[in-house]
Amino acid sequence: MAKVTDGYDTITGSQIQKPIGYFETRQEALDALSLYSLSCKKELNNATLSELGGDTYQQVLNQKNKSLPTFAMLYDKVTEGLFKTLSKSRVNAYNSAYHRLSGLHNKRINTITLFDLQAEIDKSKTEVKQKTLHDMKTVCVKVFEYAVIHQHISRDSDFTSYIDTKQENMNNKSDKHKTFSISEIKAIMKDNSIEAKTVLTYIFTGCRPIELVNLNKSNIHIDELSDDNGEEMKISYIITGSKTEAGKNRFVPIHNEIKPFIKEVVNHLSRFKDVTKYRIDLFLPFMDKLGLEHLPYDTRHTFATLAKFYKMDDYSRKRIMGHKSADITDDVYTHSIRNQLYQEIHKISL
């Protein structure tokens, strides 16, 4: 019998051991221990180890897999802590999403491939709304994140960021992106939490989610003198942007509505490593708290709608949002006048 240490008794300090396999000779057992050690250290991949160890490694692998938790086991662990911070409706939404992932429930976490994950999502694409697909992806992200943190799998084995939740040929685009109404924006203003301030910052800048998550504090400028239109005035703005040439290194004026807390918001957003974390840990729980049905990109659609409603000129709106102009001469010959953009954005007045 080949055994490995699986922990220590908290009272006596003695080793707790588990068998990894039974072999005919001492040498085979020693080889199995060596193969087990190499697989744990990730010094060799499974294919190479299989070539080296043959049947011995397969026996080690089978035993190792038996000790790893299933997707269902890890979901139970995740929800023990996560559900304490969520509302009942959000808990129900995640549980519903989890049940739609039934094909993963009994699989060992180290055996689940990107193909397995995507197949479960694809099965539901014609049956549910986009929000449910996002919830399904969120469940997968949380389970794999827990598995990495507790060293059940390596970070390289977490494929959840590649899950595609986009639905093709959606009959109703309004199901995908809905603008915030004026009354909803005012409800967010009254909340006054850091989550509320964050959503308002997205609404009043029109930025893509990634553009504020990745924003460097040095690119926030408050009350700087500018006279690029011949009139000296104090303006506040950020330099941000992504995705397209028109969107990169873009001047975005800071509306007075968000000026008092934009630095606080950017500092808070720096805690999130990516947009998925922002959506899962901040945006969706806050929407649930206020009883609203929105996705992160709805804030950008809201800015575009407000700009049109309050008669911001099209050129300024496109420059602020990082869109190319339909008139090529605008992009080639017309330069952004910062004072003009700053004045235009303040046409939005709630």
Domain ranges of the chain: 2-67, 71-171, 182-345
Confidence of residue 94 (pLDDT cuts 50, 70, 90): very high
How much helix, strand and coil, in percent to the nearest 5, is found in the chain?
Answer: 55, 10, 35
- For the chain, where are the E strands, in sequence order? 2-8, 15-21, 220-226, 233-240, 250-253
Fold of 71-171: DNA polymerase; domain 1 (1.10.150)
The average confidence (pLDDT) of the chain is 84
For residue range 176-216, list pLDDT tens digits in order: 568 999 999 999 999 999 999 999 999 999 999 999 999 99
Structure tokens belonging to residue 146: 């827990």
For residue range 6-22, list pLDDT tens digits in order: 667 778 888 887 777 78
**Cα R_g (the chain), whole angstroms:** 26
- Matching residue, tokens 């000790």: 67
CA 179, 180, 182, 185 torsion-angle sign = negative
For residue range 229-251, list pLDDT tens digits in order: 888 999 999 998 765 444 468 89
CA 54, 59, 64, 70 torsion-angle sign = positive
pLDDT at 228: 84
Q: Quick one: CATH architecture of 182-345?
A: Orthogonal Bundle (1.10)
What is the spatial distance between Cα 89 and Cα 97, in angstroms, rounded to a whole number? Answer: 12
For residue range 52-64, list pLDDT tens digits in order: 556 666 666 666 6
